Chain A
Amino acid sequence: MRRSISRITRGRRFSPAGCAVVLTVLAAGIPPAPTAQSAPPAGAVPDLAGIWDGTPKVRPPNSATIPWGKANFPEVNERALAYMKVFDEAVSPKYDCQPSTPPALEYDPYMMEIVQWPDRVLLRYEKDDQLRTVWLDGRRATVQDFGLQGFSVGRYETNALIVETDHFVFDITGFDDYNGIPSSQQKRVIERYWREGSELRATITVEDPMFLRKPASYTTRWVPAPSGYKLAAFDCDQESARASIKFLVPKYK
């Protein structure tokens, strides 16, 4: 992430059509996607670029039952249950402005932007000013790449963008901050983004053998942001983030 930010400021923006041409060339050096075709079909690079609206007017806001509800609540193991039992809301990192991470970040009720370049896709989130870089050029993570948002690689496959992210650091609310479910450095998140008419859809799947008995997933949607909308700075304020902690009945003394 740190490395990618400096590159982005120097980077040049390409159109999705241009990306399609360059990606076709780049594809020769990328492991083939698991499809029956020998070459990417026409339109294999979907136009996902733009600012997308995920605010409460578009989808129900996140909560203890959304997006992880009765139908898809993760099957957690005993280790996770132990963490959940001792979890103390007051230590949740968000009260000190630590950003949420996949799979929670994608469902935060704010705008987000997708930029498609030939060698990468940029996922920029209004919430907490987060930027994720999805590398399309075949690079692999190193031990230097562990970070809060992990390390992401991607590929286009049958009109969808597939993002695979690992190299996360342990996060006490890294799976879900409403239910206090942690995630480990073994968390792996697979995201599939595609267009459904004018909407953007995504299925987010999480694996984490340290805490989950099996992968869990949810599917969500965004609509195009109002014309001319620009992402606003979040500038999380530490006084504001922690101001309500005094209202909790203390769990520990």
Chain B
Amino acid sequence: MNVQRWMVAAGAVAAIAVLERAAPLVAHHATTAFYDASRKVEAQGTVTKFLFKNPHAFLYFNSTDGSGQTIEWQIELGSPLNLARTGWTPDTLKPGMDIKVAGQPSRAEGTHGICCATITRPDGSPVAPGARLQEEPRR
């Protein structure tokens, strides 16, 4: 059974620092209005869909919480045009693949979004040879 774990990082991050750290990730919109850079979430589950379309790729996967409820996650990635320049393809993440994700949680109550994510196999190994695993600020 997959386990969802939440970890809340201590301390607040200054607004400008958040903007500078988070905004470069997607370069289409600032992430701070959508995701909380002062917190971190980890989840493990199975890929259901990989939307490799501009302006942002999105990875969807399901995990199961401690009470057996299915959680549907949505991970925001960069644009496929820029992801492709670093080795990603539409087949990098396929439905049925087991993954582990860590990143910033979405802000709206009751939603399960993640950005700025690190994506690996459950044992921490790369999801695909040559593919970039970490979607994070580039400076």
Contact = CB atoms under 8 A, between A and B. Distances in A.
B138 A240 contact: no
B16 interface: yes
Given A240-B58, A244-B113, A55 B51 contact: no
Interface of B: 16, 19-20, 23-24, 27-30, 33-35, 51, 53-58, 74, 76, 81-82, 84-85, 106-109, 111, 113, 138-139
B84 to A, nearest CB: 8
Nearest to A177: B29
Contacts of A209: none
A177 B74 CA distance: 24
Contacts of A65: 16, 19-20, 23
Given A64-B19, A247-B113, A249-B108, A235 B27 contact: no
Nearest to B18: A64
A39 interface: no
Interface residues of A, number: 35
Contacts of B85: 55
Contact of A235 (B54, B56, B57, B82): B54
Interface in A9-60: 55-56, 60
A94 B29 contact: yes
A109 B107 CA distance: 26
A110 B81 contact: yes
6 contacts: A65-B19, A109-B82, A232-B81, A239-B53, A240-B51, A244-B34
A131 interface: no
Contact of B81 (A126, A246, A250): A126
Nearest to B58: A243
Contacts of B30: 63-64, 178
A247 B106 contact: yes
Contacts of B81: 110, 126, 232, 234
Interface of A: 55-56, 60-66, 89, 92, 94-95, 97, 108-110, 126, 177-178, 232, 234-237, 239-241, 243-244, 246-250
Given A232-B81, A243-B74, A60 B54 contact: no
Contacts of B111: 246-247
Contacts of A56: 24, 27, 82, 138-139
Which DSSP category, helix, strand, loop or mixed, fits chain A's interface? loop
Given A63-B24, A243-B74, A243-B76, A248 B107 contact: yes
A66 B138 CA distance: 14
Contacts of A89: 29, 33
Contacts of A60: 24, 139
A66 B108 CA distance: 26
A178 B138 CA distance: 18
Given A239-B53, A240-B57, A241-B55, A246 B82 contact: no
A147 to B, nearest CB: 21
Contacts of B33: 89, 248-249
Most buried by B among A97, A235, A249: A249
Interface centre among B16, B55, B74 (most CB of A within 10 A): B55
Given A177-B29, A178-B30, A247-B113, A234 B54 contact: yes
A156 to B, nearest CB: 31
A55 B20 contact: no
A232 B80 CA distance: 11
